[in-house]
């Protein structure tokens, strides 16, 4: 990916920092980002999507039950069909070309992220796990 970014001449626009253990730095990066682009293809509930919304950063990625649920109240993101890279890219292009739409998503992301604090997030994730994982006897 880094090579493709370099070859496309986008190194000054795209960063790929990899794993960051400094939570303050991660949250700062989320708050400074225009969007949180993700491409999860498995049924999971990644905490990073909640952290993006709490940081008023719209989530842009593939449709999944968890992501859809997170933005169901206010529409703080754009979701594409699973694996449809063209639709995902089109969403990113749309936001780049229409700053007013991006501003709207940022406002909506803040609203979608508002109810999440540590206790609420843990409860929400626990309920999802309980609902979607079979009981082991």
Instruction: Read off the CATH number of the domain in which 64 is found.
Output: 3.40.50.2000
CA angle 22, 5, 76 (to 5 degrees): 60
Q: Domain residues for 30? A: 20-115
Alpha-carbon span 33 to 57, nearest angstrom: 7
Q: In what order do the strands lie in the sheet with 36-37?
A: 36-37, 59-62, 77-80
Q: Answer yes or no: is 44 within a domain.
A: yes
> Structural domain tally of the chain?
1
Cα–Cα distance between 62 and 83 in angstroms, integer? 7
Rounded CA separation 8/85 (Å): 17
Is residue 30, in this structure, part of any structural domain at all? yes
pLDDT score recorded for residue 72: 96
Q: Look at the pTM and tell me if it is higher than 0.85.
A: no
One pLDDT digit (tens) per residue for the chain, 137 residues: 889 999 999 999 887 878 888 889 988 999 999 999 998 888 777 889 999 999 999 999 999 998 999 999 999 999 999 999 999 999 999 999 999 999 999 999 999 999 887 787 778 778 878 887 776 65
Q: In this structure, is residue 54 part of a structural domain?
A: yes
């Amino acid at each position: 990916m880094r090579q493709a970014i370099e070859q496309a001449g986008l190194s000054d626009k795209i960063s790929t920092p990899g794993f960051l253990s400094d939570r303050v730095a991660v949250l700062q990066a989320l708050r400074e980002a225009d969007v949180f682009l993700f491409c999860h293809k498995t049924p999971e509930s990644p905490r990073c999507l909640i952290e993006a919304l709490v940081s008023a950063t719209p989530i842009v990625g593939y449709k999944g039950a968890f992501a859809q649920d997170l933005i169901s109240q206010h529409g703080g993101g754009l979701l594409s069909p699973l694996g449809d890279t063209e639709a995902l890219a089109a969403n990113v292009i749309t936001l780049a070309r229409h700053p007013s739409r991006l501003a709207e998503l940022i406002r909506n992301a803040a609203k979608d992220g508002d109810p999440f604090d540590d206790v609420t997030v843990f409860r929400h994730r626990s309920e999802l796990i309980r609902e979607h994982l079979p009981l082991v006897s």
